[in-house]
Amino acid sequence: GKKRNPPGNHNESENYNKKAVTKRYKSNSGEIKKTHAEVQLEALTLLRTITSVEGVPDGIVYDSCPELVKKIKAFLARDGMTKSNFMLALGGLNSNSLNTFLAGKRQDQAGNVTYRRAYVFFEKLRILEGKPKSSARIGNEMEHPYGFSLEKPR
């Protein structure tokens, strides 16, 4: 049989893994990169900050489904952002709801809970970043003064 190390005596692979978690890596340009844990923490902190923004009315949506799909995909592409954490930030959204919404065409997912929650989330992000309303958003407000329909099209 193979000899086992006594408790408290760590073998090489365990020490290597501990180093890998805390070690910072330098990129080719020489800048110090963040560890995976730091990137994850920043992503979670951003989500918490966005969800704490107040003053966004719920139930009025001025973005079309395709506009929100674009925003969601771009947001999920950020460093350290996971679908799982994003769904938690949207109030514990079900992954089936999110995936169905992302796969939808035109306004066919207007009745999906993701539509309302994601709109409120990205409106909070816009306010947090101090960005003005987009020209598409202003056009939508003119065309749909009470927001887009939140019912599944028949």
pLDDT tens for 29-56 read 667 778 878 888 888 888 888 888 788 8
CA distances from 94 to 4, 80, 99, 113 (A): 45, 20, 9, 9
Q: By C-alpha distance, which of 131, 125, 95 is closest to 113?
A: 95
* Number of CB atoms found within 10 A of residue 75's CB: 18
Model confidence pLDDT, tens digit, residues 56-114: 888 889 999 999 999 999 998 888 888 888 898 888 889 899 999 999 999 999 888 89
Question: Whole-model pTM?
Answer: 0.73
DSSP assignment letter at 41: H
- The pLDDT assigned to 35 comes to 83
Mean pLDDT for 6-21 is: 49
Q: Answer yes or no: is pLDDT of 19 > 60.
A: no
